[in-house]
């Protein structure tokens, strides 16, 4: 494993953090504000480390967020101890989360070719999107609308769309670009 794959080990601390009944004393607990300040200071360095480990900025950001959520819950519940080396502790938590995702692949996101279920709005968003698309297509000439529909909605190549329309691929491409420009302009107004 590469040298950058591990965080510096947190130093061993004496058990003077706990009182006689083995509870953490209030002065050794991190407040949510203290935790946010500490995490914000360590975040760029931790993100670079996670990016080096995952090789994917999205995975690194997801892991960074999960680390923050895990530790901030503890800070809010006043069960997070102050650390002599907060970066090492935070890094160890992040690495444990990463290791856990490797050991339990069922917890990772999976790509699928199935669309998610309709939202709670009963399909209103889908209807609004369809109505907007139809209104925008109605603003285009027949040739522009046909090119946009065949290439962007049906996923055909310019050549295949040109064959269906009896036009050259360059004509289809020009009509499509003109149509998309008109649609963008209408959306921005």
HSE on the CB side for 111, CA within 13 Å?
A: 0
The span from the CA of 46 to the CA of 68, in Å, is 11
Question: What average pLDDT score do residues 163-176 get?
Answer: 94
Query: For residue range 6-18, what is the model confidence (pLDDT) as tens digits?
Result: 555 555 444 444 4
Phi, psi of 101 (to 5 degrees): -70, -30
Query: For residue range 58-106, what is the model confidence (pLDDT) as tens digits?
Result: 888 999 999 988 888 888 887 778 888 888 888 899 998 888 877 776 6
Considering only CA atoms, give the Rg of the chain.
27
Query: For residue range 104-119, what is the model confidence (pLDDT) as tens digits?
Result: 766 566 667 777 665 6
Query: For residue range 20-31, what is the model confidence (pLDDT) as tens digits?
Result: 444 455 567 878
Three-state secondary structure string covering 79-141: CCECCCCHHHHHHHHHHHHHHHHHHCHHHCCCCCCCCCCCCCCCCHHHHHHHHHHHHHHHCCC
HSE on the CB side for 23, CA within 13 Å?
A: 5
Query: What's the confidence (pLDDT) of residue 120?
Result: 65
Give burial (CB, 10 Å; 0-12/13-18/19+) of 143.
middle
C-alpha dist (Å) from residue 37 to 11, 34, 42, 166: 21, 5, 9, 64
Give burial (CB, 10 Å; 0-12/13-18/19+) of 3.
exposed
- For 27: left if phi > 0, alpha if psi spans -120 to 50, otherwise beta; the answer is alpha
């Amino acid at each position: 494993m590469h040298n950058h794959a591990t965080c510096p080990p947190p130093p061993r601390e004496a058990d003077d953090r706990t009182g006689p009944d083995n509870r953490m004393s209030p002065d050794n607990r991190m407040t949510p504000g203290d935790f946010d300040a500490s995490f914000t200071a360590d975040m760029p360095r931790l993100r670079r480390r996670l990016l080096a480990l995952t090789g994917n900025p999205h995975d690194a950001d997801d892991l960074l967020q999960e680390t923050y959520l895990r530790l901030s819950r503890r800070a809010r519940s006043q069960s997070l101890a102050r650390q002599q080396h907060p970066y090492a502790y935070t890094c160890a938590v992040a690495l444990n989360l990463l290791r856990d995702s490797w050991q339990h692949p069922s917890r990772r996101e999976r790509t699928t070719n199935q669309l998610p279920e309709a939202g709670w709005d009963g399909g209103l968003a889908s209807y609004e999107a369809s109505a907007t698309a139809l209104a925008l297509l109605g603003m285009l000439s027949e040739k522009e609308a046909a090119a946009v529909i065949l290439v962007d909605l049906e996923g055909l190549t310019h050549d295949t769309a040109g064959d269906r329309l009896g036009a050259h691929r360059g004509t289809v491409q020009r009509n499509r670009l003109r149509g998309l420009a008109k649609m963008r302009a209408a959306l921005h107004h």
